[in-house]
């Protein structure tokens, strides 16, 4: 888990813990269907269908003039997941992803189950490296399989378009491994410092504690993000970076925002969200064809989230229509 992550977010997919081995984004996918009649319990299946998790069903089927209201809670330090709430009888299937505890062991358990389902006998039980009493010399083992990751630009595309926190955490630790010879959050942050300086950002005046921004301990100013955006605009990687950002009214985390305005299919920007904090940063092209950077961070607001987003959208629309009046 990242430093300063909220304990009451642990259940949800966006807070899935990072790990040396990841499987299914360190989550189980839970499918919920209404029961056969009002008052009956909902039908629940989960994927992968593994003994590693226990799902408790406390979801009731209700009439169509009622509301579907679902939530989930995984007991801390366990893989007991309670699903509770209501689902309308005409509701289609609803799929939610819930994080697992100890994802490396999760991968090992499911791997063993799959082998056994194929008729391959496996001795012993599934364990991760933390449970091993002996130090493994990987040079003496036989390599069975090698898989190469997608290119970095494709990974960043997934991180930015979908705001994938797990991938961001994994990437930060991978940077630490590449630059400091050991994959950890601290090493990843240390490896970032020379690049922050190149962007005009003083590492002593910014506080980064994780890769995703999910922690409230992160401290950053709008100007620092603006420096990053301007630096990327001038870099050889700008095209890949620009294309990785969600596009207003088109895709990613702002696919439903700024629709039917000049900002639609124009603004390329990354969102940020934790409770009472909403940010939007990226690029917008004016009516004159001039590209601008913008950074909007809304902190400690008490109004409904859509109002905070609407104000940000209005700024983007105004910038999209802006003209310096030059002929």
The whole-number pLDDT of residue 125 equals 87
Residue 195 counted as domain residue: no
- Domain holding 35, by residue range, is 1-147
Q: How far apart are CA 296 and CA 169, in angstroms?
A: 23
Q: Where are the alpha helices (DSSP H) in 235-293?
A: 238-244
Q: What Rg, from alpha-carbon coordinates, does the chain have? A: 23
Sign of CA dihedral 274, 275, 279, 280: positive
Q: Would strands 54-62 and 80-88 be described as parallel, antiparallel, or unpaired?
A: parallel
Triad 301, 303, 306: Cα angle to 5°: 105
- Report pLDDT digits (tens) over 26-49: 999 999 999 999 999 999 999 999
How many domains are contained in the chain? 2
Last residue of a domain, one of 112, 147, 182: 147
User: For the residues 276-305, what does the mean pLDDT come to?
Assistant: 96
> What count of residues does the chain have?
327
Residue 240 counted as domain residue: no
Sign of CA dihedral 162, 158, 9, 297: negative
Residue 74 counted as domain residue: yes
Task: Please check whether residues 134 and 13 belong to one and the same domain.
Answer: yes
Share of residues in the chain with pLDDT > 70 (%): 99
User: For the residues 84-95, what does the mean pLDDT come to?
Assistant: 96
pTM for the whole thing?
Answer: 0.92
The whole-number pLDDT of residue 198 equals 96
Q: What is the DSSP annotation of 88-155? A: ETT---EEEEEE-SSHHHHHHHHHHHHHHHTT----S----GGG-SS---GGGSPP----PPPPHHHH
- Report pLDDT digits (tens) over 181-225: 999 999 999 999 999 999 999 999 999 999 999 999 999 999 999
Q: How far apart are CA 67 and CA 51, in angstroms?
A: 32
User: For the residues 246-272, what does the mean pLDDT come to?
Assistant: 97
Residue 301 counted as domain residue: yes
Say yes or no to pLDDT of 266 above 80.
Answer: yes
The whole-number pLDDT of residue 320 equals 97
Triad 59, 65, 69: Cα angle to 5°: 35
Task: Please check whether residues 249 and 142 belong to one and the same domain.
Answer: no
Residue 225 counted as domain residue: no
Task: Please check whether residues 136 and 249 belong to one and the same domain.
Answer: no
Say yes or no to pLDDT of 9 above 70.
Answer: yes
Residue 291 counted as domain residue: yes
Residue 131 counted as domain residue: yes
User: For the residues 51-57, what does the mean pLDDT come to?
Assistant: 96
- Report pLDDT digits (tens) over 131-187: 878 888 889 999 999 989 999 999 999 999 999 999 999 999 999 999 999 999 999
The whole-number pLDDT of residue 84 equals 96
Say yes or no to pLDDT of 327 above 80.
Answer: no
């Amino acid at each position: 888990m990242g430093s300063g992550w909220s304990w009451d977010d642990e259940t949800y997919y966006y807070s899935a813990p990072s790990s040396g081995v990841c499987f299914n984004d360190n989550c189980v996918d839970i499918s919920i269907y209404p029961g056969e009649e009002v008052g009956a319990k909902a039908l629940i299946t989960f994927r992968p269908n593994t003994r590693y998790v226990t799902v408790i069903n406390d979801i009731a089927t209700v009439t169509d003039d009622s509301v579907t209201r679902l939530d989930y809670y995984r007991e801390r330090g366990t893989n007991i997941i309670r699903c509770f709430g209501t689902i309308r009888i005409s509701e289609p299937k609803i799929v939610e992803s819930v994080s697992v505890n100890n994802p490396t062991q999760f991968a090992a358990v499911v791997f063993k189950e799959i082998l056994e389902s194929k008729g391959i006998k496996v001795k012993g039980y599934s364990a991760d490296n933390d449970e091993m009493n002996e130090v493994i010399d990987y040079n003496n083992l036989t390599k069975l399989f090698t898989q190469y990751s997608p290119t970095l630009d494709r990974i960043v595309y997934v991180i930015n378009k979908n705001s994938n926190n797990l991938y961001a955490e994994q990437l930060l630790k991978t940077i630490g491994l590449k630059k400091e010879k050991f994959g950890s959050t601290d090493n990843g942050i240390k490896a970032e410092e020379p690049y922050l300086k190149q962007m005009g950002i003083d590492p002593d005046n910014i506080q980064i504690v994780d890769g995703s921004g999910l922690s409230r301990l992160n401290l950053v100013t709008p100007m620092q993000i603006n420096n990053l955006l301007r630096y990327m605009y001038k870099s050889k990687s700008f095209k890949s970076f620009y294309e990785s950002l969600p596009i207003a009214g088109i895709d990613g985390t702002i696919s439903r925002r700024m629709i039917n305005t000049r900002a639609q299919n124009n603004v390329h920007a990354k969102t940020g969200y934790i409770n009472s904090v909403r940010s939007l940063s990226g690029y917008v092209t004016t009516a004159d064809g001039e590209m601008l950077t913008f950074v909007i961070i809304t902190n400690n607001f008490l109004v409904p989230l859509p109002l905070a987003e609407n104000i940000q959208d209005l700024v983007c629309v105004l910038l999209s229509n802006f003209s310096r009046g030059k002929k």
